Amino acid sequence: MTPGSLGAALRAARSRLVQALGLDPSVAGLEAQMLLGHVLARPRAYLLAHPEAALTDADQAQFDTLLTRREHGEPIAYILGEREFFGLTLRVTPEVLIPRPDTELLVALALTLIPEGTTWEVLDLGTGSGAVAIAIAKQRPKAHVIAIDQSGEALVVARDNAHRHGATNLQFLQGDWFAPLGMGARFDVIVGNPPYIAEGDAHLFQGDLRFEPKAALASGAEGLDAIRAIASKAAQHMTPSGWLLLEHGFEQGAACRKILAEQDFQGIYSHCDLAGHERVTAGRLVGTQP
């Protein structure tokens, strides 16, 4: 593409993305602006206010490279190296799941349970980029948050994100679910966004999911293996009246309620996301000491 104005480059890029990915033109236009803004280190408002400004050869070449990556389906979050979550700009790499708006519901529900100013113990299982743990730690600075992931590469990203946002009340551990914890570790709230897609689900081979770590996405024939594993051990690490909150697929609410009931959880409920789908299921072990 011959270098030209910002406006011309954005129009051409929008057309390329619509044709390659079948995006709605408005979405394609937004993505083009995000990519060009990244190249120029300028906000979208600047691009829209200066459509006549010229691109240098170097900027055009870099823009073309990023567009080609997006045309091949690579998630824009990985191309830009960041994603916003709960008001925080987080670094993301192909070693971590891309934080999604649906998961903000998990954070919001946890915050309704954690009183402000309390020194509650909070555990985040399968932390990935650290999105959930960091959001909770920032909103409840007196709480002590532990975040666990089995991937060392993911924890490098999570620790960097915590450092960037000054989340000092947060500790990271590596291991499989509860394994890194001592037998006496007890938590007032346990949250998790575990893998919950069935291993044979066609969606794993479509869209952004093709590029994301499979270990963070798929979990058994029904997608419920990780949820069962967490629910079966959670009571051993919960305080009396502690809460367990798990994100799951939009058709898994009934199955998750059944899994928690089988482990003697009480007060079980599922909360819907903005689309009206059951997205987070919660339960507590009222008055019991594991």
Whole-model pTM? 0.90
Q: What is the pLDDT of residue 156?
A: 98
Q: What is the pLDDT of residue 287?
A: 61
**Residue with tokens 């994603």, as numbered in its chain:** 83
> What percentage of the chain has pLDDT greater than the value 90?
84
User: DSSP characters for 92-140?
Assistant: --TTSPPP-HHHHHHHHHHHHHS-TT---EEEEES-TTSHHHHHHHHHS
Using CA atoms, how far residue 181 sits from 113, 170, 266, in Å, is 23, 15, 24
Mean pLDDT in residue range 233-253: 95
CA–CA distance, 78 with 99 (Å, rounded to integer): 11
Query: From 1.10.8.10, 1.10.3720.10, 3.40.50.410, 2.60.120.480, which CATH number describes the 6-73 domain?
Result: 1.10.8.10
Mean pLDDT in residue range 40-55: 94
Q: What is the pLDDT of residue 3?
A: 60
Q: What is the pLDDT of residue 48?
A: 93
Q: What is the pLDDT of residue 209?
A: 86
105-125 pLDDT, tens digit per residue, is 999 999 999 999 999 999 999
Mean pLDDT in residue range 251-269: 95
Query: From 3.30.70.270, 3.40.50.300, 3.40.50.150, 1.20.120.80, which CATH number describes the 96-284 domain?
Result: 3.40.50.150
Domain ranges of the chain: 6-73, 96-284
State the maximum Cα–Cα separation within the chain, in Å, rounded to a whole number: 70
Using DSSP's 3-state secondary structure scheme, residue 9 falls into helix
How many residues are there in the chain? 290
Mean pLDDT in residue range 37-44: 95
